[in-house]
Every structure is written in C-alpha cells, then in structure tokens.
C-alpha cells in the first residue's frame, strides 16, 4: 500500500480541479525523482475504481511503456494493466488500463473500446511535429467518446528540442500544477545538488544553433579536442575518488568511446558505454551493474563487478532510474534547458542503500553558465543564435559559477573586476555556478580598516531617516558594508540596538541619530572590528555580515588609503 506525499496529493487534486473547471488539456510538472509515477498511478486508479472509466497511458519509446506498466502493476496491483507495443510484442486491448507506445497505436483506435482518460508520460520528449500522431489518436478517441480527457506529465515544462510544452495552440495548453527542484530539495525528497567547474576549457565561441540546438559537428569538434578530453577525464577521476557512481554525457559515439577509454586508463576501473546502438540486453545489464545489482556472467555463478563509471550519448536522460548516481559529468553543451534539467536530474534521486544525499555536477559544456541555476531557469522561448549571452560567470580563483550581478564569489570571496563584461569575451576559462539557488556559504575575513559615514539615500525627502554606513576593508580593494538604523522604528531600530549593545561601551546610551552614532565611534566609544563573518546565499544580491571579532576600546584607527567599492547599488538598500 502506498500513500501520496503532500505535494503529490496537491498535484492529483489540481488535475481533478482543472478537469472539472476547464475544457483544455492540462500538464503536470514534477521534477525527476519527485514520484510522478505515483501521481499518475493514483489518477489512473481513481478513474477506474471511482468513476468506472478506462485509461490509456501513452509513451514515445518502448522502454517507458515497459517501465510504466511495471510501476503501475506494482503500485496498483488491483488494476488490470495491459500493454500494447509492437517493440515489446504485446497487443493487449481489453484491460481497464492500457499502456501503449504512440507509434504502435496512433492509427489503431478502432482496436480499442472507448477511453475516458488518456495520459501522456514524459511529454517534454514530444517534438512539435510529433504531436501529429497524438492528435490523430486523440481525434479518433473523441469519435468513440466525445468526453475523453487528455493529461500530460513531465519533469520539465520545456521540450528537450526547445520551446515550451504548453501553449494555446499546442497539444497541451496549460500547466495545472508545478513544483520546483529547490522545493523538493528543501523538503528532503530529492538529493542536494552541488557543482564544480572543470579545468578543461573547450572553446564554444564558434557554435551555431540549428533547429534549436547546437550544430552537432561543431560540438563534436569543440568537445573532442584531445587536451580538453584528457584534462576532463583526469579531473572526473580525481573528483570521484570517494564517490560511488558517475554518469558522463558525451557528444557522439566516437567521443563516448574516447572518454570511456581515458577514464578507464586513469581510474583503473571499467567504464561502460551506452549509445543508441547498444543492444537492449546490454543496456539493461549496464544499468543493473550501475545500481549495484549482481549479474551472473557464467554457469558457475560468477558475477560481474558493480560499475562506477558509464559514458552515454543522448540515451540515459529519461526513464533511467539509478538512485546511486552521485556524480553527473556534462561533457557536452546543449541549448535546451529541458535537456539540461533531464541530464542533471539523473542525480536527483536519494539512495538509502548507498547513503547518497548529494550529487556533484561537473559541467564542461558551460550549460549552467548559459541558463543559470537549474531551479531558476525561466525560458519563454528557445534562444536565438544572437541571444547567447551567459547568465552566470566563473570565479577565476575557485571556479564557482555565480550570477552576473554578483561581484563577490560566494565560495572564496574573490571580487570580480569592474569591467567583467568586456573581459568575459576574451576569457578562456569555464565557469561553475551554484547549480541550486539558496546555497549558503560562510567565510571569515580580517578587517584592515573601518570607515563610518552618515548615509542618506539618493532622492530621499529631507526629513527621511538617515542611516550609518559602516564599511569594512579586508584588503586594498575588497570591502563589505552594513547599515545601522538609529533613526528608524520597529525591526530596523531593534536590530541597531542589539548591534549597539554588543559593540559600544556599556556607559554609552543608545543614540537616536546617525550623526551621534558616528561621533561615538570617533570618540573611541565603539569597539573596533578585527574580523567579520560573512554569509552569502546564492541568488541573493548582497552578502550579510553575521558575526564579529571585536577589539578593545581605543585601538589605533588610522585612516588607510583604501579604495571604496562602488559596485553596490545603494538605491537598492531598503532604508
């Protein structure tokens, strides 16, 4: 017996509410490893047991047909589940729930009794021209039952080929429920995702876009460079020394073989290869070994060793269930946000068996730089070739990827030069950003000098409350600022009072003006700050000073020739 998680029940309820209130076709978006199959199974079960209906579940490949049928039987053993797929040599038509391949049934509705509900799984894999077969079948199904309804299920609202799934003119018209990657991570339902950029820096400046994706030959040339491949493979092996399972995405069969060979040489371990040409039995065996399952290799009970490394080409993006994957290496660039999410999504699953709760993403194709953190991707339409400006930049010190407005690296504290935009055009290093927004880092800095000044917000009314800007110089260039609010009320004033109790001489009263605060500092009545602790949250504009190491009253406060930091947009300070 299974029970739905709160968000899964919300998704099911949203589907029913949509079907009651609207006549169009809804789509449900639940990230990989979020338990979409449970929701789909619940809707199918309700349709049969509560409303005495018949259900058809469609998929675009036989592997998904087989998986969906198996999961449905396991989740809802009370349902009669049939399979219609030429590739699986099964042609069931009478069961209350039928799982079918669209290629096998799109022109064969005459073989089936009327359906009340049709659900399409992994709709992000359906290209616009592929919707024709679904429309053909749906039109035929409506002839037998004018009230039949259609629901789509996916992990991403983008097609892997580019473009949004839901539009008024598309097969699916509106998202009725969506939960994000970060929400599921925060709730502990899927694995945390971290990222590190690699030392391999392919030159992707000359890539062109055709039909929404980078031109394959150009990608192959850029990523197949010997130095790039060797450096990347060495780093993949180095970074996975203490990890269990690594899945590598390559650009072509030749590239895949080249990468697998080098990973094997550097690691001393087998690296499997899975491509579109890999026989089904071999692919199934490889996946089983990646899961750590025992696979007998002869009549004497000998078993193949579990696999740690596997390279693939455009195969293991959808329907691949390997919870133990704790490293995903992207040795290919893509212009498809949907495909990027699907590739990284292979590492979303938690694995109690291996103890995995976190997955490392190594992005050698500048994909995160192209689209930003995967939980913040918001693509309205496919990018054109002229709209390829990066959304993030790389820290040259620790190779962390940060969003463009960020001037201080959240990992190491590096401050980006002023004219970063112009310099980036000539940068030959890749970037590596927090792949999930909200990641928190904490660093400590020694303070070389502190500057205090009364601060009045630009354009403020003459009688508006003033603040005190305290600037901490940690070297000749880098600064951190905070604002004290003695003239404000409520939370801002109470926060100032707490700060003042910690920093000021106990004989000092709490001043009520910004000028008084500065006078107390210059009179030596405020402890100097020796060190500050700075917390940064990926996706937030400014770092936050959360701790201090204080000196003694009256310590030397010489003014040093430090340079002020003008990169902060002071109009954005909420005072």
Q: What is the pLDDT of residues 455-496, one digit of tens each?
A: 887 777 888 899 999 988 886 557 888 989 999 888 888 889
The predicted pLDDT at position 399 comes to 58
Quick check: is 28 in a domain? yes
Instruction: Please give the radius of gyration of the chain, using alpha carbons only, rounded to the nearest integer.
Output: 29
Return mean pLDDT, the chain: 83
Q: Please state the rounded mean pLDDT for residues 552-558.
A: 62
For residues 528 and 520, what is the distance between their CA atoms, to the nearest angstrom? 12
**Structural domain of 529:** 442-572
What's the pLDDT band for 8 if we cut at 50, 70, 90?
very high
| Confidence at residue 522, expressed as pLDDT on a 0 to 100 scale | 82
Residue 232 lies in a domain: yes
Residues 134 and 280 in one domain: no
Determine the pLDDT at residue 421: 35
509 CB-near residues (< 8 Å, 6+ apart):
none
Span 222-245, average pLDDT = 93
Last residue of a domain, which of 353, 372, 391? 372
Q: Please check whether residues 87 and 119 belong to one and the same domain.
A: yes
Residue 379 included in any domain: no
Nearest residue to 96 (alpha-carbon basis) of 57, 146, 142:
57
The residue-averaged pLDDT of 142-146 equals: 95
Same domain, 174 and 204: no
Q: State whether 135 and 159 are in the same domain.
A: yes
- What is the enclosing helix (H) or strand (E) of 453? strand 449-455
Q: What is the DSSP string of 290-311?
A: HTT--EE-STT--EEPPPSEEE
SS3 249: strand
Q: Is residue 395 part of a domain?
A: no
User: For the segment 253-274, what is each residue's pLDDT rounded down to a tens digit?
Assistant: 999 999 999 999 999 999 999 9
Q: Is the pLDDT of residue 230 over 60?
A: yes
Q: Would residue 212 be called left, alpha or beta, if left means φ above 0 and alpha means ψ between -120 and 50 degrees? A: left
Over residues 487-512, mean pLDDT = 87
Do 73 and 156 share a structural domain? yes
Question: Which stretch of 142-156, 202-216, 249-263, 294-308 has the lowest confidence by average pLDDT?
Answer: 294-308
Mean pLDDT in residue range 308-328: 89
Residue 338 placed within a domain: yes
191 and 172 fall within a common domain:
no
Residue with the bigger pLDDT between 490 and 25: it is 25
Angle between helix 253-267 and 216-223 (nearest 10): 20
User: What would the mean pLDDT of 321-326 be, rounded to a whole number?
Assistant: 91
Residue in 66, 124, 73 with CA at minimum distance from that of residue 97 = 73
Instruction: Give the position of tokens 């992005």.
Output: 363
* Claim to verify: residue 84 and residue 170 sit in the same structural domain: yes
251-278 as b/e, with b when 16 or more CB fall inside 10 Å?
A: bbeebbbbbbebbbebbeebbbbbbeeb
Residue 182: pLDDT over 50: yes
283-287-289 Cα angle (round to 5): 115
Please state the rounded mean pLDDT for residues 425-436: 42
According to DSSP, the residues that pair with 58 across neighbouring strands are 100, 120
pLDDT band for 428, please (50, 70, 90 cuts). very low
pLDDT band at 62 (very low <50, low <70, confident <90, very high): confident
**Same domain, yes or no: 334 and 450:** no
Nearest CA to 180 out of 376, 349, 381 is that of: 376
Give the per-residue pLDDT at 212.
Answer: 79
Whether residue 427 is contained in a domain is answered as: no
Q: Cβ distance 476 to 563 under 8 Å?
A: yes
Report DSSP state, residue 113: P
* Mean pLDDT comparison of 127-136, 175-184, 400-409, 560-569, highest-scoring range: 175-184
Q: Say how far apart CA 176 and CA 479 lie, in whole Å.
A: 46
Backbone angles phi, psi at 312, to 5 degrees: -145, 165
pLDDT band at residue 403 under the 50/70/90 scheme: low
Look at residue 295 in the predicted model and tell me its pLDDT.
Answer: 81
| % of the chain with per-residue pLDDT over 70 | 82
- The reported pTM is 0.66
Lowest mean pLDDT segment, chosen from 96-110, 304-318, 379-393:
379-393
Question: Is 404 a residue whose pLDDT tops 80?
Answer: no
pLDDT at 444: 86
Q: Considering the domain boundaries, does residue 387 fall inside one?
A: no
Determine which helix (DSSP H) or strand (DSSP E) holds 99, and give its type and residue range. strand 97-101
Q: For residue 181, with 0-12 CB atoms within 10 Å meaning exposed, 13-18 middle and 19 or more buried, which class applies?
A: buried
Whether 221 maps to a domain, the answer reads: yes
Q: pLDDT confidence of 112, banded at 50, 70, 90?
A: very high
Hey, what are 306's tokens? 């579990």
Q: 330, 249 in Cβ contact below 8 A? A: yes
Look at the alpha carbons of 220, 224, 229, 233 in this order and tell me if their dihedral is positive or negative.
positive
* Average pLDDT estimate for 74-90: 91
Identify whether the C-beta of residue 121 lies closer than 8 Å to the C-beta of residue 40. yes
State the Cα–Cα distance between residues 294 and 285, nearest whole angstrom: 10
Statement to judge: residues 199 and 308 lie in one domain: yes
In this structure, are 470 and 561 located in the same domain?
A: yes
Q: Contact, 46 vs 82, CB < 8 A?
A: no
Total structural domains in the chain?
3
Give me 268's structure tokens: 């001393």
At 158 the three-state DSSP class reads: strand
Q: Where are the alpha helices (DSSP H) in 346-391?
A: 367-371
pLDDT score of 437: 64
Mean pLDDT score, 362-384: 71
CB 336 within 8 A of CB 158: yes
Find the CATH number of the domain harbouring 41.
Answer: 3.40.50.300
Q: Are 361 and 434 in contact (CB under 8 A)?
A: no
How far is the C-alpha of 436 from the C-alpha of 336, rounded, in Å?
18
Lowest mean pLDDT among 72-81, 262-271, 564-573: 564-573
**465 and 363 belong to one structural domain:** no
Last residue of a domain, one of 158, 179, 200: 179
- Tell me what pLDDT residue 434 has: 56
- Residue 556, classed as helix, strand or coil, is coil
Beta-carbon contacts of residue 34 (< 8 Å; ≥ 6 apart) = 7, 8, 155, 179, 184, 189, 190, 348
Residue 386 has pLDDT above 90, yes or no: no
Q: 179, 210, 234 — which closes off a domain?
A: 179
Regarding whether 209 and 85 lie in a shared domain, the answer is no
């Amino acid at each position: 017996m299974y029970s739905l998680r709160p968000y899964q029940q919300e998704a099911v309820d949203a589907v029913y509410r949509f079907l009651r209130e609207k006549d169009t076709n809804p789509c449900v978006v639940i990230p990989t490893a979020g338990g979409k199959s449970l929701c789909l199974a619940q809707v199918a079960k309700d349709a049969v047991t509560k409303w005495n209906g018949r259900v058809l579940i469609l998929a675009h490949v036989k592997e998904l047909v087989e998986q969906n049928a198996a999961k449905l039987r396991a989740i809802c053993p009370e349902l009669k589940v049939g399979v219609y797929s030429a590739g699986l040599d099964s042609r069931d038509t009478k069961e209350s729930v039928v799982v079918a391949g669209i290629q096998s049934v799109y022109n064969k509705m005459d073989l089936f009794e009327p359906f009340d509900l049709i659900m399409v799984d992994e709709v992000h894999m359906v290209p616009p021209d592929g919707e024709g077969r679904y429309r053909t079948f749906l039109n035929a199904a409506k002839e037998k039952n004018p009230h039949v309804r259609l629901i789509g299920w996916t992990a991403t609202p983008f097609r892997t080929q580019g473009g949004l799934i839901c539009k008024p003119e598309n097969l699916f018209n509106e998202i009725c429920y969506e939960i994000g990657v970060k929400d599921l991570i925060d709730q502990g339902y899927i694995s945390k995702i971290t990222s590190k950029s690699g030392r391999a820096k392919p030159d992707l400046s000359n890539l062109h876009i055709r039909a929404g994706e980078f031109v394959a030959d150009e990608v192959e040339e850029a990523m197949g460079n010997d130095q790039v491949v060797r450096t990347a493979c060495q780093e993949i092996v180095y970074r996975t020394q203490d990890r269990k399972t690594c899945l590598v995405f390559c650009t072509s069969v030749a590239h895949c073989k080249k990468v697998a060979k080098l990973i094997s040489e550097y690691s001393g371990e087998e690296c499997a290869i899975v491509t579109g040409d890999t026989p089904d039995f071999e692919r199934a065996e490889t996946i089983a070994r990646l899961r750590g399952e025992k696979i007998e290799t002869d009549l004497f009970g000998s078993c193949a060793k579990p696999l740690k490394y596997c390279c693939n080409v455009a195969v293991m993006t959808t329907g691949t269930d390997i919870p133990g994957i704790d490293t995903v290496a992207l040795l290919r660039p893509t212009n498809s946000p949907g495909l990027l999410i699907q590739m990284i999504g292979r590492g979303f699953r938690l694995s109690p068996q291996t103890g995995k709760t976190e997955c490392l993403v190594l992005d050698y194709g500048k994909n995160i730089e192209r689209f930003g953190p995967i939980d913040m991707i918001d693509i309205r339409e496919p990018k054109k070739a002229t709209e390829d400006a990066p959304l993030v930049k790389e820290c040259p010190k620790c190779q962390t990827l940060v969003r463009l407005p960020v001037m201080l690296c959240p990992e190491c504290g590096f401050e980006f030069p002023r004219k970063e935009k112009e310099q980036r055009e000539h940068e030959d290093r890749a970037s590596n950003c927090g792949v999930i927004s909200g990641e928190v880092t904490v660093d400590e800095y020694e303070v070389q000098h502190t500057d205090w000044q009364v601060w009045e917000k630009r354009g403020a009314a003459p009688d508006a409350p003033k603040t005190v800007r305290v600037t901490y110089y940690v070297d000749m260039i880098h600064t951190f600022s905070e604002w004290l609010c003695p003239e404000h009320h409520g939370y801002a004033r109470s926060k100032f009072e707490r700060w003042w109790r910690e920093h000021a001489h106990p004989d000092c009263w709490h001043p009520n003006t910004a000028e008084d605060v500065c006078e107390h500092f210059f009179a030596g009545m405020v402890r100097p700050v020796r060190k500050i602790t700075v917390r940064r949250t990926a996706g937030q504009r400014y770092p936050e000073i959360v701790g201090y190491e204080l000196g003694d009253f009256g310590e030397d406060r010489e003014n040093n020739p430090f340079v002020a930091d003008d990169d902060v947009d002071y109009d954005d300070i909420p005072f």
